[in-house]
Structure 1
Amino acid sequence: MPVSHYLLLLASLPCLPLWAAGQTVHRCENSAGQVTYTTLSCGPGENLSLQRINPYQPGTVSPTTESMLPEAEHRQLSGNKPPRKEPTVVGQFEDRCANLITARQRREAIIGRRILAGMSQQDVESALGKPHSIKVRNSSTRYTYATKKGRSAEIVFDEKGCVKGKS
């Protein structure tokens, strides 16, 4: 055969249909119903059936059912699932201001530049910035803020550093 025929044969190999690349595997099932797929032979006492597996064909939308292994059985493994339980809160965060306000109220007050009883000195500074003056007298602290229109605001803290409520 001339060399040109070999070249023609070699050039036409990629054009062979893809079903030629399929493979046969052994499906082995034992008496307990356990299924094993192998290219080797089945063990003693197992039922053998041949399965032809075709590779995925490019250009198709999805693999065809004959190119996939049979779908596994979906069954519930255990019938006694424990009921879902809600988590139990064992401890709760308590700030030094005795949780007079919630975290949400604290955030909203800081964003709105408002001061609420139960806020800490750090919360007040987050909302209004550093005070213009600080006075400490008889275990209480006073922050004074001067506003642009000649007005001032005074915030009084107790001995724990929390904003006192109006008396």
Structure 2
Amino acid sequence: MLQSCCAGICAFLLCPTLHASTVFRCEDASGHITYTLQGCPVAADQQLQSADNPTPGQGKAVPLAKTRKGEGKRSKKDKKSEDLLVVGEKQDGCGNRVTGSERRSAMIRQQARSGMTQRDVESSLGKPDKITSQDGQTRYHYEDNEGNRRQVTFDESGCVKGKH
């Protein structure tokens, strides 16, 4: 009895988990609805939506929603007014001051540019030889084989500080 119970628990723990994504449903004052992964603007009403796409079992289609009789048959005029627009941009936590192409170019050239994240700098320059922190600022210290030293300073948000 105890062995079968333990086997059942082990089987439960080893089962793969199903992953669903949560998206934000944003509705502005004029009733315009957008869906995004990054959150809604301050003035918009925000609701969380679960986006789940289950794997069909045994080759049978799994209906995602049931429609009522008469629903789903819309004229072109009705459809145009309900077009769905999904707007979103990935936020890097540093105000997106460095574009994707600028970030890639800096990493190829092994540079640290203002607005890059700590993760970007580590991808570009590698793990630092030494890390120091003082007054909310973090500094990465690098030294190459010839004794040349380099220091990268981050603000309290983990973004490379620019020269002022």
TM-score range (shorter-chain normalised) is 0.3 to 0.5
Rg (Cα) greater in structure:
1
RCO higher in 1 or 2 (8 Å CA, sep ≥ 6)? 2
TM-score, normalised via structure 1 length: 0.46
| TM-score normalized by the length of structure 2 | 0.47
